[in-house]
Structure 1
Amino acid sequence: MPERSALELQLDGYGLTTAQILYRLPDHPTILQTYVWQDYDLAPDFPEMFGFLDFWNANLDGPLHSVRYTHQRLIKPGEFHRVDGEFALH
C-alpha cells in the first residue's frame, strides 16, 4: 500500500502527535536521556505511538522511564469545506 500524504492523513482525522520519551542509558541506568518522537496519529488510541513504544521495548536496550505526549488536530471539522465547483477567471 502506498504511503499516504500528510494532508490525506489529516483529512481522515489524524493529528500531529509529539512524544517526549525519557529513557535510561543501558550502561549508566541512573542517567536519563531524552528522545523526541513525532508522527501523525489517531487520538485517543494512538496506534502509531504505542506501536513505536512496543518496538522500543522489544528491540532497544534503553528501558523507558516516562513518556509525555501532546496531540493536535491540524485540520478541524469547521475549518475544511469541500468545494464542488471551480471558476476560472482571466
Structure 2
Amino acid sequence: MSTSETELLLKGYGLTTAEIFYRMPDYRNVLNTFVWQDYDIAPDHPRLFKFIEFWQDKIEGPLHSVRFVHRRELSPGEWRNVTGEIALH
C-alpha cells in the first residue's frame, strides 16, 4: 500500500530536486544532466542517497557532481482539518 503525498508531507517529508551531472559512457569529456525528484526527509535525504548508490552500481555513466534543493511544503503545525464553515455578510 502506497502512502499519499499529503501523508508524506504531514510526516515531515519535503520535495527534493536533484540535478545530476554525469559523463557519457562512450565520450568521457561530454557531460550530461539528469533531473530527479521525490519526497524525502532532510537533512539525511535517504531516498536521494539510495538513488545515487543505485546510479553508481547500475548506470554506466560515471557521476561528475550532484546539486540538490529541498523544500518542505507543509508542516504538521500549518495544516488543520476544518469541519465546518460560517459565512458572514
Structure 1 and Structure 2 fold alike (TM over 0.5): yes
Correspondences of 1:1-90 after superposition (within 5 Å): 2-83=1-82, 86-87=83-84
- Gaps of at least 5 residues in structure 1 are none
Give me the whole-angstrom Cα distance separating, in 2, the residues matched to 1:29 and 1:42. 33
CA deviation profile, 1:60-79 (whole Å, cap 9, x unmatched): 00000000000000103442
The percentage of counterpart residues that share the same residue type is: 52
Give me the whole-angstrom Cα distance separating, in 1, the residues matched to 2:84 and 2:12. 29
Give the paired residue count: 86
Q: Which runs of 4+ in 1 moved over 6 A?
A: none
- Gaps of at least 5 residues in structure 2 are none
CA deviation profile, 1:26-72 (whole Å, cap 9, x unmatched): 00000000000000000000000000000000000000000000000
Alignment RMSD, CA only? 1.6
**Structure-2-length-normalised TM-score:** 0.89
Give me the whole-angstrom Cα distance separating, in 1, the residues matched to 2:68 and 2:10. 22
> What's the CA shift for 1:3?
1.1
What SS does the aligned partner of 1:44 have? coil
What SS does the aligned partner of 2:20 have? strand
